[in-house]
Amino acid sequence: MSKSQHVVFSGGAVEIGSVGKVMLSKSGYWTVVVGDVAYELINDRDYFRALILLEADRPELASVLAELEGSGHAAFPIEKVIASAFLGGADYWAALALDWIDELAFEKKLLLVDHLKQVVDAKWAHQHTRQLATKALRAIQAVGQNNGG
Please report the DSSP string for 37-75 in residue order: EEEE--SGGGGGGGGGGGGB-HHHHHHHHHHHHHTTPPP
Which residue, of 17, 51, 76, is where some domain finishes? 76
User: pTM of the predicted model, to two decimals?
Assistant: 0.86
Which residue, of 45, 76, 107, is where some domain finishes? 76
pLDDT tens digit at each of 149 positions of the chain: 445 667 777 777 788 877 788 888 888 889 999 888 999 999 888 999 999 889 888 888 888 888 887 777 778 899 999 999 999 899 999 999 999 998 899 999 999 999 999 999 999 999 999 999 999 999 999 987 777 65
Residues 89 and 125 in one domain: yes
Which residue, of 49, 76, 103, is where some domain finishes? 76
Q: Containing domain of residue 134, as a range?
A: 77-149
Label residues 5-43 b or e (16+ Cβ within 10 Å = b): bebebeeebbbbeebbbbbbeeeeebbbbeeeeebebee
